[in-house]
Amino acid sequence: MTSWACTAPAKVNLCLYVGPTREDGRHELVTVMDSVSLHDHLTLTAAPPGSTGDDVLCPGVEGPNLAADALAAFRAETGWDAPPVRVTIEKRIPVAGGMAGGSADAAAALRLAAAAAGVDDVALLERIAEPLGADVPSQVRGGRVLAEGAGERLTPSAADEPHAVVVLPLDAQLSAGAVYAELDRRGGARPADELDDLRARVSAAEAGDGVIAAGLVANDLQDAALALCPPIAVALEALRDAGAVHAMVSGSGPTVVGLFPADVDWAPVLDELADFPAGISGARLLGRDPAGRWPVPGEGARP
């Protein structure tokens, strides 16, 4: 079997507006996501001799992995009956940090399996991704996208707003479910008519200069995440002091990101953040076409 490799870019929500709960228990969303250059790296190879099924190795991360669910879903949907494979994940995206690291890995596993199986149908991969989690479909193609519904209705965005990104991971983890529950407890979801108005404004912005230029950068989950993880406040203030144009919780948190001008001088920014633990990442928004996400063949390949 040919080995395949690809990247799994993290994402940031440039805006995340949360509306009423749907009949299926999920919230109606309007969000613009963009991939960032911070990424995991995945390889797909033949499983070791004697293996009875596919497996996923992710050193440093224990427990079930969504990438394994993605492989199983791909086989079930396509009938791919190749011998067992192994997916190895080099982890860089913060775990349970609100940057869709698990979802990005699952989407990358779908891309790898499709490459190995000779399947060239991105729309099929997005359909397979939908039951795996709200963020997985958007990460199949990656890039900048307007997502609606519970995250499954995707519209690629024409906007291009180059920015540098500082990622501040915290020594904590938050589950999305817990953050949404706290949002509901606080009555923080927007009524349907307000969400409809924001949907129109966000859609218009993404057809033009983008939500950053339109002043629509916001995260409705931020206050709930802050209530569950108070150290977030310190990280937000540090990013503002370092000159961030916007500082916000990424997704459901607790990772905090700061947006800076694309030509930022990194030295004073990093000096300002020197008191934070190791793990700070400097990245950039990738826009419409993140490089490296499509698999390339070859043992040891590095997109």
Tell me the catalytic residues. 11, 135
Q: Cβ distance 104 to 139 under 8 Å?
A: yes
Q: For residue 151, give Cα distances in angstroms to 18, 130, 134.
A: 11, 9, 5
3-state helix, strand, coil in the chain (%, to 5): 30, 25, 40
Is the alpha carbon torsion for 280, 285, 291, 294 positive or negative? positive
By C-alpha distance, which of 112, 32, 164 is closest to 293? 112
Q: Cβ distance 136 to 129 under 8 Å?
A: yes
CA dihedral 138, 213, 186, 229 (to 10 degrees): 80
Beta bridge partners, 9, equal 39
